[in-house]
Amino acid sequence: MRIVFLGPPGVGKGTQAAQLQALLGVPHVSTGNILRAAIQQEGSPLGREVRRFVENGRLVPDDLMGDLIAERLERKDATAGFILDGFPRTLEQVSILEGVLGRLGLALDRVLMLVVPETEIVRRLSGRRTCPKCGTVFHLESRPPAAPGVCDECGSALVQRTDDTEQVIRERMKVYAGQTLPVADAYRAKGILVEVDGFGEVEAVRSRLTSGLGRV
Ligand code: AMP
């Protein structure tokens, strides 16, 4: 299965993709996680280059993202499939992805788009806490860690993403509406977009997503 996950920031893509990865046995490729790891890694040239974009909620330039995604999808573990989370985010990235997959003789199976009301997004983002080490996502109300501030999976101290502040959230929503919604339209036109209601419990959304996988 080669799947793209679409949806606004905070809609639950990361949480759902991590669960689907276990279910489908294909890697969860999150461009946001890759960029954040590079930023945290001392001396990383990629990290230096992308830091100011990520921290301000702006998109990293398409050519840089294209190199990154080509390198990732050409790795052996992605040949049987992948769940792409956070890419493509622009129409140019749609073409880049098509080019990379075309060279590998592959094509996308589904584009799953999670949809929730905007008030819910603000609630989710402001309560979100993430593990900087293993990437597990928690929420202060709906998915609190067993011990406050500590990752259940690896014991690291949880952090609030620096781009989960009100001002940056607003910028990310603007970027999504302007640049990423046209991506959904492009996939709708290709007939592979499935829209899924992302409101409610994680398990309920997951079962809607898995039934969406069988539907186009
Ligand atoms: P995410 O974790 O997917 O919300 O991504 C966090 C940030 O990483 C975004 O706000 C962008 O600054 C950057 N980013 C992630 N994926 C992309 C992409 N496909 N194109 C450009 N920038 C990206």
Please give the pLDDT value at position 191.
Answer: 95
Cα torsion through 93, 60, 21, 117, rounded to 10? -90
Rounded to the nearest angstrom, the distance between the alpha carbon of 192 and the centre of ligand 1 is 23
Strand ranges (E), 118-185: 128-130, 137-139
Nearest to 24 by CA among 69, 70, 78: 78
pLDDT attached to residue 212: 87
Q: What's the CA-to-centroid distance between 88 and ligand 1, angstroms?
A: 9
**Confidence (pLDDT) at 120:** 86
Shortest-distance atom of ligand 1 to CA 31: 16
Strands (E), the chain: 2-6, 28-30, 82-85, 110-115, 128-130, 137-139, 193-197
pLDDT of residue 181: 96
Ligand 1 binding site (Cβ under 6 Å of any ligand atom)? 9, 31-32, 35, 53-54, 57-60, 65, 86-87, 89, 93, 163, 172
pLDDT < 50 regions, the chain: none
pLDDT of residue 167: 87
| Residues labelled catalytic | 13, 89, 128, 161, 172
Residue minimizing CA distance to atom 19 of ligand 1: 87
Question: Best substitution site from 35, 125, 161 to test ligand 1's pocket, by max atoms within 8 Å of Cβ?
Answer: 35
pLDDT score of 215: 65
Per-residue confidence (pLDDT) for residue 123, from 0 to 100:
86
Give the integer Cα–Cα distance in Å for 21 and 163: 25
Reading the block at residue 151, the tokens are 């990752």
